A and B are shown apart, each in its own frame.
Chain A
Amino acid sequence: MSAVRVGHDVAWVQGASDEPLVAVGRVPDGVPLLLHGSSAQIWVLLAETGDPGEVVDALHEAYDGVARDDIAAAVADFVADLLGRGLVVRDA
Chain B
Amino acid sequence: MAVVEGAEEGPGQVSGSTVDLDLQLRVELTHAAVQAIADLHGLDLLHVKGPALDDSLTHPGRASSDADVLVRPEHVAGLVAALPAHGFRLVTGFSSGSAFEHAANHHSRAWGYVDVHRTFPGVTVAASTAFESLWAVRGCVDLAHRPCPVPHVLDQALLLTLHGARGEGSERGRLDIERAFTSTPVEHQESLRERAAELGATLALAAALDELDQHRDDPAHDLWLYYSRGGTRAQEWRARLKAAPTLRAKARVLGRGVGVNREYLAMELGHEPSRREMAAEFVDRYRTALRSLRPGRRS
Contact = CB atoms under 8 A, between A and B. Distances in A.
Interface stretch (B30-38, B97-105, B225-233, B243-251): B30-38
A38 B22 contact: no
Contact-residue size bin, chain A (C-beta under 8 Å from the other chain):
20 to 34
Contacts, number: 101
B31 to A, nearest CB: 8
Contact of A27 (B1, B25, B36): B36
Interface string A12-51: 1101000001010101111111111111100000010000
A31 B144 contact: no
Interface stretch (B8-16, B183-191, B207-215): B8-16
Interface of B: 1-8, 11-14, 19-22, 25-26, 28-29, 32-37, 40, 86-87, 110-111, 143-146
A39 B19 CA distance: 15
A23 B4 contact: no
A4 interface: no
A29 B29 CA distance: 12
A28 B13 contact: no
B21 A32 contact: yes
A29 B2 contact: no
A78 B5 CA distance: 12
A6 interface: yes
Interface of A: 6, 9-13, 15, 21, 23, 25, 27-40, 47, 74, 78, 81-82, 85
Given A23-B26, A32-B19, A9 B110 contact: no
B255 to A, nearest CB: 36
A37 B2 contact: yes
B145 A10 contact: yes
Contacts of B2: 35-40
A12 to B, nearest CB: 6
A27 B39 CA distance: 11
B111 A28 contact: yes
Q: Please list the 7 inter-chain residue pairs (A to B) with the smallest Cβ-Cβ separation, ordered nearest first.
A: A11-B32, A29-B11, A11-B144, A27-B36, A37-B2, A33-B6, A28-B36
